[in-house]
Every structure is written in C-alpha cells, then in structure tokens.
A = this chain, B = another copy of it.
Amino acid sequence: MALVFSSGSATSGPRSASKILNAARDVLSAQGYPALTIEAVAAAAGVGKTTIYRWWPSKEALVADALAEIFRADEIPDLGDTHAELRQAVDMTIDNYTNEDMATALPALAASLLPHPELMTRFRETFLHRKRENIAAALHRGIQRGDLPDDLDTDLVQDIWAGTILYRRLMTGSPLDTDLAEHLVQLTTKAPPLLPRRESPRTSR
C-alpha cells in the first residue's frame, strides 16, 4: 500500500492503515467531505486520533489516500481497435465519477488544495498522472495505426473527456450513459482536424 499523502514512509503505514482508510470512505459516504472529521474517522476505525495524526497531517491528506485506493487508472490493453480502446478509457473515467464519494469528494478536495501549490502537485501526481499516461498510450497507438492525427492534443482530449463527465456528475446531473461515452469517443476518432496542437497564437500563453 502506497500512502501518497501520508507524512510517514511512502510505502508503509500504520498496521491499521486499511481499517482507517475504509473508515474514512464510510464517513465520507455517510456525512460528505465538508462534515468529515478526523475524530469521526478515528471512532469508526476504532483507533485513537493520534494514530491517524501520526500518519496523516490533515483531513485532506487522509481523504486523498482513501480516494486514491479506489481511483481507477488502469492500463488500456492493446486491442488492435482504436475505437474500442478509447471507449475503455472513457468508460473508466465514467466509472470513477459514478462513485458517489469520488464524485463529490474529489472536486471538493481539489478545491481545498488549489491554494497550496505543493499539495496540488502531489494531488495531480496521485490522481491524474498515471491515468493520463495510460490513456495517452492508447491515443498514441491510435495515432500509430493512422486512426488519429499525428498532432492530436492528447492532453486536451483527456480534459474534454474528464471535464464533461465531471461537470455532468457534479453540476447538471445529466446521465453518464453509453450515449455520452460514444459521443466523447467519436469527438476524437471522427474529428481528426479538430484537436491538433495549435502552433499559434503563442502570445496568449
């Protein structure tokens, strides 16, 4: 178990770590992120508050590790079929945000960390980098097969996918269904000229 946000070793943790992280997710489900307290998690896990504080410096750190355990960042297997691989990538993203705790706690957590650049960097390493690298690998296979343009902006594609899914889940309540998944894939596969990296205007950056 890698406790990314723990103040202890990155590869170890208290013997009760999994009990504590499960309890944190239970409290999240029952009370939501804003109301979650270290006291409530300690009570639910049957450990002392000091045990938690010895390993996690803050509520944010504890919740980040609890969510990291259930956040999917799977490798997309080479299926020899660009559409099928991109659909797996979109479905994985939908799966992450369908989970009620993830849908509400992950944006609330990001909002709390945003004023703290060093914590935000760790948040991105934990929740974005591996998922994005794995999805980028599938997009690059699509490029190599000639199904996607050489200059596809793989970051923008992923921002559009994850952003649309998160926005529907958090803001509009519109369904995260197979229609949406197909639209998001086709936006990429059928729109080769639409998502290239633009060379200009550089001045705006």
What is A's interface to B at a CB cutoff of 8 Å? 32-34, 103-105, 107-108, 110-112, 114-115, 120, 124, 127-128, 153, 155-156, 159-160, 162-168, 170-175, 177-180, 182-183, 186-187, 190-191, 193-195, 198, 201, 204-205
Given the contacts A179-B201, A204-B178, A190 and B193 also touching, CB distance less than 8 Å: yes
Assembly CA distance A108 to B113 (angstroms): 11
* 21 intermolecular pairs with C-beta atoms under 8 Å apart: A32-B115, A33-B111, A34-B108, A34-B111, A104-B114, A107-B108, A107-B110, A107-B170, A108-B111, A111-B170, A120-B173, A128-B172, A153-B183, A156-B183, A159-B164, A159-B174, A162-B167, A166-B166, A166-B171, A182-B198, A191-B194
**Residues of chain B with a CB closer than 8 A to A171's CB:** 107, 110, 124, 127-128, 162, 166
How far does the Cβ of A58 sit from chain B's closest Cβ, in whole Å? 11
How far does the Cβ of A18 sit from chain B's closest Cβ, in whole Å? 25
Interface of chain A, helix or strand or loop or mixed? helix
Contacting residue for A163 out of B114, B167, B178, B182, CB 8 A? B167
> Chain B residue with minimal CB distance to A120?
B173
Of A128, A183, A193, chain B has the most CB atoms within 10 Å of the CB of A183
Assembly CA distance A182 to B127 (angstroms): 28
